[in-house]
Amino acid sequence: MLFVQTVKIIMEILKTFDTHHMIDIDIIEGKPFVVSTSCKVHTDMVLEYFCSDHDTLCCRSCMASAHRSCEKVLPIEVSAKGVKSSARYDEIVEHVTTLNSAVNELEDKKRQVLTTLKESKLTAKQDVNNFKAQLPKRNQEIEAALISEIDKIHTDLSNEANENLEKISDGRRKIQNIAEQFEFVSKHGSESQIFMLINNIKEELNCHANDFHQLLSSQKDLSVSFKESDLLSFMKSFGSVEIKEASLDI
């Protein structure tokens, strides 16, 4: 699927980046957004340079210890110039948009799964009742057992689906927060702040993409159905309750 391929690309492109000290950007509509300036390795140092050879932000101590022989180390202000028209910026825009759109789509489809699951429960119960009407001599205890099994399966599947929906909703809120943060800094931040934000959110975006990929791979479209038996005279039940699964196409 297109989105799965996109997630894999994100995971290959984005690298780990932790955040510590922050630069505050004006708070609009009560939402604070921050861009990290603290070096991950030398926590008391400020990030001032960008090494194109290693594709990473670095401080003066990093320069001396790990980038002494690098040829393309420039001040952040220089590297950040024109960042909003760069391929890196376009990639982040595309990845944030794609991931945000996909997790919202998955959330909507999971809600529809719950609706379909509930409708299938009603249909399955009706199938049981219809089958009963064709065979008046059926044992009432068998009918009750089937109805009970349908209810139990529906309850178990609904509980599991609701747990997954909560995970999806939580992921959607986190991705939406990243999207809002990125949009805000893109509109109101300086090029340096945008450039640093792009590097700062790589780890978080990578984690969310990986979590979403794992969650997506385990999701199924669920329904409950009743399968009639052709051997009523030899069987102790009307039939069996089946679970139908289909992968969700995102």
Residues found in the chain: 250
Q: Are 207 and 10 in contact (CB under 8 A)?
A: no
pTM of the model: 0.57
Alpha helices in 45-86 (DSSP H): 60-66, 76-79
* Bridge partners (DSSP) listed for residue 245: 222
pLDDT (0 to 100) of residue 129: 86
Return the pLDDT at 128: 87
Going by C-alpha positions, the residue among 143, 120, 141, 117 that lies closest to residue 130 is 143
pLDDT for 32 equals 63
Q: Which long-range contacts (CB under 8 A, 24 or more apart) does 168-176 make?
A: 168/103, 168/106, 168/107, 168/110, 168/215, 169/107, 171/103, 171/208, 171/211, 171/212, 171/215, 172/100, 172/103, 172/104, 172/107, 174/208, 175/96, 175/99, 175/100, 175/103, 175/208, 175/212, 176/100
Q: Which stretches of the chain score pLDDT less than 50?
A: 2-4, 6-25
